[in-house]
Chain A
């Protein structure tokens, strides 16, 4: 069955970097577009990033553009989110989610990994 498992979260100081991983199973990563979505404590969902299945198309929310980069390792069936120049406002649970093929929505989500930016 389809599973997405995020990892890599933790406590990091402002200005530092962190890389999140999303290991997927039950489907081929290169056959699906993928999203990153985050949720600050007690707040709503915020779309963060998109990567196309073939890796040729990346899109980012204005709030992270220029600081965050998504990538993938198809051999490992793993998606990554490289987060640089972190700020307090980046504190959130980060979810990876599979794009519902051609339907502009997310049909499978991971359980999320918490990133806390704190001095």
Chain B
């Protein structure tokens, strides 16, 4: 199972919106709504930000939203804040009944 494809880095200024992409195949992202996103600041464990494509767990700010079109999922962060600087990973359930992560995107807040 190959990793999902994420851009290595994305940047934005405070207050701006940024979109992080996650491209898979018809065997994972394209076939299931079981796409999730995780935030990982340096030296910490991942934190669930979005599950089932577009749902936010309790406590996650409404600035974070998710969507999917075909084989590509996206995480949009609106009103970017300095505290959002972190690595972001997408994950998807697969047709092999396993899970696969993306390679991660480093978000820099300028």
Cβ–Cβ contact A100 & B51, under 8 A: yes
Instruction: Please report A residues at the B interface, Cβ cutoff 8 Å.
Output: 35, 37, 44-47, 50, 59-62, 95, 97, 100, 103-107, 109-112
Cβ–Cβ contact B36 & A105, under 8 A: yes
Query: With the chains together, A48 CA to B84 CA distance in Å?
Result: 27
Q: Is the interface of A mostly helix, strand, loop or mixed?
A: strand
Within 8 A of A (CB), among B35-88: 36, 38, 40, 45-48, 51-52, 55, 57, 87
Of the A-B pairs whose beta carbons lie under 8 Å apart in the complex, a sample of 17, sorted by A's number, is A37-B101, A44-B104, A45-B46, A45-B101, A45-B104, A59-B97, A59-B98, A61-B1, A103-B52, A104-B34, A104-B36, A105-B34, A105-B48, A106-B38, A107-B57, A109-B45, A109-B46
| A50 touching B52 in the complex, CB below 8 Å, given contacts A44-B104, A105-B91, A107-B57 | no
| Complex contacts, A106 vs chain B, CB 8 Å | 36, 38, 46, 48
